[in-house]
Chain A
Amino acid sequence: MTETSEQQSCREKPRVINIGLSFFHESLVAQKVKAIQLEWRPPVRQSAEIKSLLDDLL
């Protein structure tokens, strides 16, 4: 029987890209899991008026 990719990934050591909260990245590193942290924050919510002003002024 052919092994699925899911089964294969469960057998291998995980390699993680963590996006957002750095606490998860730190916890994985502490457990000697290979992980990198991607700096990311949710898109900024602006009103249409502020967005339009920023388009003009910045």
Chain B
Amino acid sequence: MEIREKINAANEKALSCIVESDPVWVDILPAGQVVDGLEDHMILHSGPPIAYENMCMLHKRGMISGVLFEGWAETEEEAVALIQSGGIRMDSALNHNTVGAGTGIITKSVAMIVVEDHTNGTRAATFPAEGPFQGGFCGWGLYSPEIAENLRHMREDLFPVIREMIQRRGGLPLKPILAESMQMGDENHTRQTAADLLFLKQIVLDILKTDVSKEKIFAAMEYIVNTPRFFHCFGQGAARSALLAASGVPYSTMVTAVCGNALEFGIKVAGLGDRWFTAPAPMMKGRYTSSQYTEKDQLPWIGDSCVVECYGMGGLAAAASPIVCNLRGLKLKDAIAQTREMGEICIGKNHNFAIPNLDFEFLPAGIDIRKVLKTGIEPEIHGGMFNHDGGLIGAGSARVPMLCFEKALKAFAETYPE
């Protein structure tokens, strides 16, 4: 078999990990129990691996927050000294079966949503948003007495109720929610408005059946209802569990991860396992939440949540969500054009996602590094803009740098010299 045929067969296999995936939310567990390789005195972060001294302020602050959260030091000064002495191991979240959204600070005690892919036999864990603190500790790398108390409240008061509910119902299939919400205006990266409602409809009766007090049920429901984009972590879990199955498929040129750490942007490729291919992190273009913000306030790309793009959501699904595209001043036809353009660099289509705005054509899925280089079309991915002090200041999109794909193709040729 010629190498082209091997690649095409491998890409069909890798794409089927996405298309045939069956992600199911099954549990809530501490990260130490569910994230493979997450040890004591270890902190995960978003983006490609990076040394502490090179991290942006948000990541450095997140590392200090992680040390304080776990009680490995009493003060910030002690935390910094511990980190600088090499007492804390740091790694990219996407080197494990998790996703580092935003700053992506994950330590062993963080409560994680557990998603199992029943087709692929894989498992991924993602952290839920922190109610009134939104990104809070994990997403924004913040730590304060109030955030600590909220994390305790989530862990001890809310999650036992939610955990009992999900175990009693035997898990919640996520693909039907993703598929239906895509037909209702979500692209499931920047927007989960429909998915949040569909999710709520699925769980509301089950949570009322839990054997706990009315007050505890109310508190759990209040947390879910009042947390913006609550479903986001489930979409990330669905994507990550499928992409973990594709990772390591020999000869596949499909992209399995895209992410940034505000300094570098990195991709992974199925046939090249856990290797990173990096370029300077791009700036996002979009709309700020306030006219007081300018590009000077904005960090280059930070976060792993764009793992959903590799699954065929976000920028690839622009046609499903003209509302999100309108944040960049685009019209419906532009959103459709964006999805069609992304189709030129994808291996195939996902028959689970039929989109009304495309006259029920399926969304593209599975970015192929060869097609990116051949066409010169860099993947357009959606995301949130962070400022230098932490917190979201807008939403928009960026193009994944071509240099990542050039490096990956060269490495591919060295790995498979035929």
Residues of chain A lying within 8 A (CB to CB) of residue B374: 44, 54, 58
B410 touches which of A41, A44, A49, A56 (Cβ 8 Å): A49
Does residue A46 face the partner (Cβ distance < 8 Å to B)?
yes
B370 touches which of A44, A47, A54 (Cβ 8 Å): A54
Residues of chain B lying within 8 A (CB to CB) of residue A54: 370, 373-374, 409
Residues of chain B lying within 8 A (CB to CB) of residue A46: 373
A53 and B412 CA atoms in complex are apart in Å by 10
User: Smallest distance from the beta carbon of B414 to chain A beta carbons, Å?
Assistant: 10
Does residue A57 face the partner (Cβ distance < 8 Å to B)?
yes
Considering only CB atoms, which chain B residue lies closest to A42 in the complex? B376
Task: For chain A, residues 5 to 51, give those with C-beta under 8 angstroms from any C-beta of chain B.
Answer: 41, 44-47, 49-50
CB of B376 within 8 A of CB of A58, answer no
Residues of chain A lying within 8 A (CB to CB) of residue B376: 41, 44-45
A46 and B375 CA atoms in complex are apart in Å by 10
Given contacts A49-B410, A50-B406, contact A57 B3 (CB under 8 A): yes
Does residue B4 face the partner (Cβ distance < 8 Å to A)?
yes
User: Smallest distance from the beta carbon of A42 to chain B beta carbons, Å?
Assistant: 8
User: Smallest distance from the beta carbon of A26 to chain B beta carbons, Å?
Assistant: 10
CB of B371 within 8 A of CB of A57, answer no
Given contacts A41-B376, A50-B406, A50-B409, contact A56 B3 (CB under 8 A): yes
Considering only CB atoms, which chain A residue lies closest to B368 in the complex? A58
CB of B413 within 8 A of CB of A53, answer yes
Residues of chain A lying within 8 A (CB to CB) of residue B253: 57
Residues of chain A lying within 8 A (CB to CB) of residue B412: 53, 57
Q: Would you list 21 pairs from A and B whose C-beta atoms are within 8 A, ordered by A residue?
A: A41-B376, A44-B374, A44-B375, A44-B376, A45-B376, A46-B373, A47-B406, A49-B410, A50-B406, A50-B409, A53-B412, A54-B373, A54-B409, A56-B3, A56-B4, A57-B370, A57-B409, A57-B412, A57-B413, A58-B4, A58-B374
CB of B413 within 8 A of CB of A58, answer no
Considering only CB atoms, which chain B residue lies closest to A43 in the complex? B376
Residues of chain B lying within 8 A (CB to CB) of residue A41: 376
Task: For chain B, residues 140 to 162, give those with C-beta under 8 angstroms from any C-beta of chain A.
Answer: none
Considering only CB atoms, which chain B residue lies closest to A41 in the complex? B376
A45 and B375 CA atoms in complex are apart in Å by 10
CB of B410 within 8 A of CB of A57, answer no
Considering only CB atoms, which chain B residue lies closest to A52 in the complex? B413
A57 and B412 CA atoms in complex are apart in Å by 10
Residues of chain A lying within 8 A (CB to CB) of residue B370: 54, 57-58
Considering only CB atoms, which chain A residue lies closest to B251 in the complex? A57
CB of A58 within 8 A of CB of B371, answer yes
Besides the contacts A53-B410, A56-B413, A58-B370, what 18 more A-B pairs have beta carbons closer than 8 Å?
Answer: A44-B373, A44-B376, A46-B373, A50-B373, A50-B406, A50-B410, A53-B412, A54-B370, A54-B373, A54-B374, A54-B409, A56-B3, A56-B4, A57-B4, A57-B7, A57-B413, A58-B371, A58-B374
User: Smallest distance from the beta carbon of B416 to chain A beta carbons, Å?
Assistant: 9
A46 and B406 CA atoms in complex are apart in Å by 9
A50 and B412 CA atoms in complex are apart in Å by 11
Residues of chain A lying within 8 A (CB to CB) of residue B375: 44
Considering only CB atoms, which chain A residue lies closest to B371 in the complex? A58
Residues of chain B lying within 8 A (CB to CB) of residue A45: 376
Task: For chain B, residues 351 to 408, give those with C-beta under 8 angstroms from any C-beta of chain A.
Answer: 370-371, 373-376, 406
A46 and B412 CA atoms in complex are apart in Å by 17
Considering only CB atoms, which chain A residue lies closest to B7 in the complex? A57
A47 and B410 CA atoms in complex are apart in Å by 12
Residues of chain A lying within 8 A (CB to CB) of residue B371: 58
A44 and B7 CA atoms in complex are apart in Å by 23
Residues of chain B lying within 8 A (CB to CB) of residue A56: 3-4, 413
A47 and B93 CA atoms in complex are apart in Å by 33
